[in-house]
Amino acid sequence: MKNKSLVAINDLSKEEIVKILNLAEEFEKNPIQNTLCQKVVATLFFEPSTRTRLSFESAVNRLGGRVIGFSEASNTSVAKGESLKDTILTVANYSDMIVMRHPVEGSARYASEISPVPIINAGDGANQHPTQTLLDLFSIRKTQGTLNNLNIFLVGDLKYGRTVHSLLMAMSHFGATFTFVSPNELRMPDEYKIYLEEKGLKFSEQTDLNENLDKADIIYMTRVQKERFSDPVEYEKVKNVYVLREGMLQNTKENMRVLHPLPRVNEIHTDVDKNPKAYYFPQTMNGVFTRMAIMSLIFGLE
């Protein structure tokens, strides 16, 4: 990984993923380190994402590095019409690594081709957000003690949800069994089902969130957004169906944990928050350790 960009989750081998998670675990035990001492990291957020940006900046600060950057494009040369290429080539002169979030899909791959310093993709439109996937994996391994042979329930918008697609690809290294829970309009696309079949992994589909929850090790919730529906009547029919409530957790396994990439709107009722099986807030804390590990490895820490 040394000096390499991280653009998509499939850029990483299974071994590299495990290496990142192991190092993240070390950082969790000893969070104050100096691996980024004398390094400048640029965080270029062409569209705002406060949680992701603060998580990266916290990670850099904990490692003794310095941060420059912007949190939205409106006050920058980008608003004056500067191309992504020019912005990247300029900022690369000021920094040792660029963390970027950009609404245009494929922008991070392009930046990685032209940039003399490594790029970390912090989200390129609906395409990729690999550090989210890595923090999800870290959260799963931490709560389950393993990544192998788990029962993963993916719930909500499985058609457009970038986080669930990336999580599926990454978990497929570890022999998971998947249950897809979604309205018919937002079912998991065929290309991912074919991918699982080729890898010999089991999956099933259901529209009812109440079914089979007792089998889950992880319930990964995502939001069902109104704008994804071609027919507003269809949305009205399902909008309250994919909401997780505390009572539904009653017969779930002791080790089961509820994950969510956040921000949540109403798909997890607030009464779930106090249940020890709710893990979406600790999940965000794990993002800092995971990003510390990723950046340290790119800067050559062994």
Place of tokens 């380190």: 33
> 164 near 192, Cβ under 8 Å?
no
In angstroms, give the least distance from the CB of 219 to other proteins: 27
**Among the listed residues 110, 160, 203, 235, the single contact to other proteins using CB under 8 A:** 110
Nearest to 150, CA basis, from 125, 134, 167: 167
**Among the listed residues 2, 14, 85, 245, the single contact to other proteins using CB under 8 A:** 85
Q: Is residue 103 near other proteins by the rule CB under 8 A?
A: yes
Q: Is residue 83 near other proteins by the rule CB under 8 A?
A: yes
Strand order across the 218-221 sheet: 203-206, 177-181, 151-155, 218-221, 257-259
Rounded distance between C-alpha atoms, residue 156 and residue 261, angstroms: 12
Token duo for residue 70: 């912007």
In angstroms, give the least distance from the CB of 191 to other proteins: 8
Which SS3 state, helix, strand or coil, does residue 112 take? helix
Stretch that binds other proteins, among 16-24, 29-37, 104-112, 232-240 (CB under 8 A): 104-112
Nearest to 46, CA basis, from 20, 4, 83, 7: 83
Stretch that binds other proteins, among 43-51, 79-87, 219-227, 257-265 (CB under 8 A): 79-87
Instruction: Closer to other proteins by CB, 228 or 253: give it.
Output: 228
In angstroms, give the least distance from the CB of 50 to other proteins: 22
Q: Is residue 228 near other proteins by the rule CB under 8 A?
A: no
Instruction: Closer to other proteins by CB, 81 or 200: give it.
Output: 81
> 65 near 39, Cβ under 8 Å?
yes
Stretch that binds other proteins, among 90-98, 100-108, 231-239, 268-276 (CB under 8 A): 100-108
Site for other proteins in 121-180 (CB under 8 A): 124-128
**Among the listed residues 48, 106, 247, 300, the single contact to other proteins using CB under 8 A:** 106
Quote the crossing angle between the two packed helices 130-144 and 280-298, to the nearest 10°: 120
Assign residue 187 a region: left if phi > 0, alpha if psi is -120 to 50, beta otherwise?
beta
Binding residues for other proteins, rule CB under 8 A, total 16
Stretch that binds other proteins, among 19-27, 61-69, 77-85, 269-277 (CB under 8 A): 77-85
Stretch that binds other proteins, among 26-34, 61-69, 99-107, 224-232 (CB under 8 A): 99-107
Place of tokens 């939205």: 72
In angstroms, give the least distance from the CB of 106 to other proteins: 3
Number of other CB atoms surrounding residue 215 within 10 Å: 14
Rounded distance between C-alpha atoms, residue 150 and residue 144, angstroms: 8
Instruction: Closer to other proteins by CB, 106 or 232: give it.
Output: 106
Number of other CB atoms surrounding residue 6 within 10 Å: 26
Q: Is residue 109 near other proteins by the rule CB under 8 A?
A: yes
Stretch that binds other proteins, among 55-63, 97-105, 215-223, 231-239 (CB under 8 A): 97-105
Token duo for residue 68: 């420059």
Residue type, 73: A
Q: Is residue 4 near other proteins by the rule CB under 8 A?
A: no
Binding site for other proteins (CB under 8 A): 8, 83-85, 103-107, 109-110, 124-128
